[in-house]
Amino acid sequence: MPAPRIAIVGCGAIGLYYGGRLAHGGNEVHFLLRSDFEHVRAHGIRAKSIHGGFSVSPVNAHDSGSSIGACDYILVALKAIANPALPALLAPLLKEDTLVVTLQNGLGNEEFLAEHLGPEHVAGGLCFVCINRTAPGVVDHSASGLISMGEFGRPAGSRLRALEAMMRDSGIECRTTNDLASERWRKLVWNIPFNGLSIAAGGIDVRAILAEAGMEALVRALMAEVIAGAAAVGHCLPESLIEQQVEVTRPMRAYKPSSLIDYLAGKPVEVEAIWGEPVRRATAAGANLPRLEMLYQLLRSLTTRP
């Protein structure tokens, strides 16, 4: 049996880090790049990491899917903003049993892929991790690292468990879940307040957010609303998550959430995936989420103006 072929689509912080770990672990990993193609082909990938830095060179760098060909696994690490381009990007990489694992943030990504590729191809992963891409091919992994993966609308199967084993063997903290949808909401408990307030409060990092009591209270109130929203659509998350997520954030110090980095760089922010879709789903199910709706409105306004 030939070794599994893995494609990484999207080589920002998440794609470089997890793809780099898998390649460093001896797996056959192909990176589909765009702007950083020449640089990564020439210089490979370098990672600073709290779990020990590593570098990969040469890497299998590609600027088109057709030069990669069919893969067993595709990890999607593009911003959700780029989804309309995704079906065409993925087409040359697909075979009958390819598993596409979207590592994107927010809600709606599995549904989008299922619609275009068929649900049997679709899985998702939540990256509970602090990683920033600091230069082309270079990442800085500063906290956490767990990736939690599940299949779309069904329990984790053998393909996903095999990927989990490869990840673990490559030094990635990894688990599978039979309830991917709940796990997505669990991640939103952090992303919604911290990514959102980092922008809405004027471009501040997580340390600055937690430095002020009123702001920390707002973080907690937003987390409670996300938990209430999750409950409205059938996902029961414990209230204790609030305290735990605040405490896990303190050691991150001056970490800038990815949405803030995009915003400050003038790049599109995943407003609909992270804030819009959760608001729509939860309010349609009867939840009352005044702060979350307000944050969504402000972020829409802040990110759609010139």
**What residues line the site for a second copy (CB under 8 A)?**
197, 200-202, 204, 208, 212, 214-215, 217-218, 221, 290-291, 293-298, 300-302, 305
CA-to-CA dists, residue 160 to 84, 86, 255, angstroms: 25, 21, 31
- Looking at 79, 187, 256, 267, which residue is catalytic? 187
Q: Which is nearer to a second copy, 1 or 265 (CB)?
A: 265
List, in sequence order, every residue forming a beta bridge with 192; answer none if it has no partner: none
User: To the nearest whole angstrom, how small is the minimum distance from the Cβ of residue 203 to a second copy?
Assistant: 8
Report H helices in the chain: 13-24, 37-43, 86-90, 109-117, 158-169, 180-200, 206-210, 213-232, 240-249, 258-264, 271, 277-284, 290-304
User: To the nearest whole angstrom, how small is the minimum distance from the Cβ of residue 237 to a second copy?
Assistant: 20
Q: Is 187 assigned a catalytic role?
A: yes
Q: Which is nearer to a second copy, 147 or 197 (CB)?
A: 197
Q: Which is nearer to a second copy, 281 or 291 (CB)?
A: 291
User: To the nearest whole angstrom, how small is the minimum distance from the Cβ of residue 291 to a second copy?
Assistant: 5
And the tokens for 138? Answer: 């270079």
Q: Which is nearer to a second copy, 2 or 202 (CB)?
A: 202
User: To the nearest whole angstrom, how small is the minimum distance from the Cβ of residue 215 to a second copy?
Assistant: 6
And the tokens for 177? Answer: 């879940």
Tell me, letter by letter, the H, E, C secondary structure of 115-179. Answer: HHHCHHHEEEEEEEEEEEEEECCEEEEEEEEEEEEEECCECCCHHHHHHHHHHHHCCCCEEECCC
User: To the nearest whole angstrom, how small is the minimum distance from the Cβ of residue 98 to a second copy?
Assistant: 39
Q: Using an 8 Å Cβ cutoff, are 282 and 192 in contact?
A: no
What is the distance between the alpha carbons of residues 208 and 302, in angstroms, rounded to a whole number?
20
Q: Using an 8 Å Cβ cutoff, are 114 and 152 in contact?
A: yes
Q: Using an 8 Å Cβ cutoff, are 175 and 148 in contact?
A: yes
CA-to-CA dists, residue 282 to 81, 196, 213, 235, 285, angstroms: 21, 18, 28, 11, 5
User: To the nearest whole angstrom, how small is the minimum distance from the Cβ of residue 236 to a second copy?
Assistant: 23
What is the distance between the alpha carbons of residues 198 and 206, in angstroms, rounded to a whole number?
7
What is the distance between the alpha carbons of residues 261 and 222, in angstroms, rounded to a whole number?
21
Q: Which is nearer to a second copy, 70 or 201 (CB)?
A: 201
Q: Which is nearer to a second copy, 179 or 216 (CB)?
A: 216
Q: Which residues are catalytic, by number?
A: 187
